[in-house]
Amino acid sequence: MSPTNNADGATIVTGASSGIGHAVCHRLAASDRPIISVDIEQKPNEIDVEGHYVCDLNNESDVAKLFVDLAKDFDLSSVASLINVAGVPGTQPASKVFEVNVLAVRRLSRFLASHLTAGSTIVNVGSISGNGWQQRINTYRSVLQLDDEDARAWWSDRSKSVEIDPYSFSKEAVIVWSMLQAGELQGTGIRCNVVSPGPVETPLLPTFREQIGDERIDWVLSHSGRAAKPDEIAQAIEWLAIGESGWVNGHHLVVDGGYTSGLLSGWVDLESAPTPKITHVD
């Protein structure tokens, strides 16, 4: 582990009770890392945590209360990492997708960053659905400069005219946000990175099939070989959060079995791909 002044500090994990978040907690627990878990459900099964907070990240009041409770219950300057796993799929209303996947991630990151100390990290979870972020980089720079209220108004006006579905938009935004926050935190010793998985064998995979379409998902899996196991994504997250990654900052780490490398280098022919469904729920 890279030398830090909070090497034994707790790690805060959102979306901790299932899927990738639970896999992250399992790895942290195996190395005796103190865990503070956050989820809309009860605490993660078979994981001992220092504290668990039930929070609906779609509810601004819930998030505000979470901040108060965390600051009251813990010395947040000793926290080693914030890992933002929680997110919702594109089968949810567009306003909720934006609120949870973008605004809540940004609020949590900025709140914790105001308490964290040098050596701490923030790791966000994106998606290969966000791989097209460079095509809309100026849009994300503009939106992410807005406060929450103005950003919600922007999204309400434009969610149907941004060229892509709300889920992909949200994940592109999180990728860009992670890079921007790395810049915001330059000089503090706090690092921010983002991990983008491909399809993962979690309870949400059927929902993503509904969102994107079976044919498109199966086509992606035909190139990566299979869906990832949650622990395979957790390995990358753990490395960026508390592993020996001390000079990795503002990085977008794709973890998809090689599928994206195939797109970039040409051994995957995107023109042969089944057309994905465009999911937009009002």
Type of residue at 153: A
| Residue 3 predicted with pLDDT over 70 | no
- Residue 279 is predicted with a pLDDT of 85
Please tell me the distance from the alpha carbon of residue 124 to that of residue 193, in angstroms, as a whole number: 6
Residue-wise pLDDT tens digits, 130-141: 999 999 999 999
Please tell me the distance from the alpha carbon of residue 271 to that of residue 138, in angstroms, as a whole number: 26
Quote helix, strand, coil % in the chain, to nearest 5.
50, 15, 40
Residue-wise pLDDT tens digits, 22-73: 999 999 999 999 999 999 999 999 999 999 999 999 999 999 999 999 999 9
pTM (global) more than 0.85: yes
- Residue 164 is predicted with a pLDDT of 94
Would you say 94 and 159 are in contact if contact means Cβ atoms under 8 Å apart? yes
| Residue 146 predicted with pLDDT over 80 | yes
Strands 191-197 and 51-54: unpaired
Homologous superfamily of domain range 11-201+229-257: NAD(P)-binding Rossmann-like Domain (3.40.50.720)
Please tell me the distance from the alpha carbon of residue 19 to that of residue 24, in angstroms, as a whole number: 9
- Residue 4 is predicted with a pLDDT of 45
Span 176-183, average pLDDT: 98
Q: E strand or H helix at 11, and its extent?
A: strand 11-14
Measuring CA to CA, how many Å separate 68 from each of 6, 71, 72, 118, 273?
22, 5, 6, 22, 47
Residue-wise pLDDT tens digits, 59-90: 999 999 999 999 999 999 999 999 999 999 99
Type of residue at 140: Y
- Residue 278 is predicted with a pLDDT of 79
Please report which confidence band the pLDDT of residue 277 belongs to, taking 50, 70 and 90 as the band edges.
Answer: confident
* Chain mean pLDDT for the chain: 95
Please tell me the distance from the alpha carbon of residue 2 to that of residue 4, in angstroms, as a whole number: 6
Burial 115-129 (b: 16+ CB within 10 A, else e): bbbebbbbbbbbbbb
- Residue 8 is predicted with a pLDDT of 83
* Number of Cβ atoms within 10 Å of the Cβ of 73: 12
Question: Which residues, at least 6 apart from 43, have a Cβ–Cβ distance to it below 8 Å?
Answer: 16, 17, 37, 49, 52
Give me the residue spans of the domains in the chain: 11-201+229-257
| Residue 2 predicted with pLDDT over 70 | no
- High-pLDDT (> 90) share of the chain, %: 94
- Residue 129 is predicted with a pLDDT of 96
Please report which confidence band the pLDDT of residue 126 belongs to, taking 50, 70 and 90 as the band edges.
Answer: very high
Residue-wise pLDDT tens digits, 100-123: 999 999 999 999 999 999 999 999
- Residue 163 is predicted with a pLDDT of 87
